[in-house]
Amino acid sequence: MKKTPSNFKSNTAIAIAMTAAMGVTAQSADNDIKVTWKDSLRLETADGKNKLRIGGRIHWDNAFSSDDDYMTDGDTFRRARLYVSGQIQERYDFKMQYDFAGGDADFKDVYFGIKGLPALGNLRV
């Protein structure tokens, strides 16, 4: 599916809204929230049962050529990803990762998991 600028904007708005909603949930669940930075922004309730991570990565390619006959100068983002992951009451976990690079903005990883289901054990979809 070809992404149009308006489609990109709506997908970006959805990703930002979901990220904001997760942050509000973490803040309203408990007043004692520990905020740290270790490879990502991390929020955790005092009891450690609820966790939220917000992070991302950028892979940037840049080329410069002194010979203008064969190559052109340029740069591009090979990957520009934002993710939100977390744990709810030590039983549920989730992750959503959105890739903005290359003109085909889309979700790359999305899952939701439940731990300790009777007869199934752990389930991740």
Give the torsion sign (CA, 42, 61, 79, 81). Answer: positive
Q: Using an 8 Å Cβ cutoff, are 54 and 94 in contact?
A: no
Distance CA 108, CA 104 (A): 11
Residue ranges in the chain assigned as alpha helix (H): 5-29
Check residue 103 and report its DSSP letter: G
According to DSSP, the residues that pair with 112 across neighbouring strands are 94
Nearest alpha-carbon partner for 42 in 27, 55, 29: 55
Nearest alpha-carbon partner for 56 in 15, 97, 22: 97
- Residues 85-113 have pLDDT tens digits of 999 998 999 999 998 877 778 888 899 99
- Residues 40-78 have pLDDT tens digits of 999 999 999 999 999 998 888 887 777 666 667 777 777
What is the value of pTM for the model shown? 0.61
Parse the chain into domains and list their residue ranges. Answer: 5-63+75-124
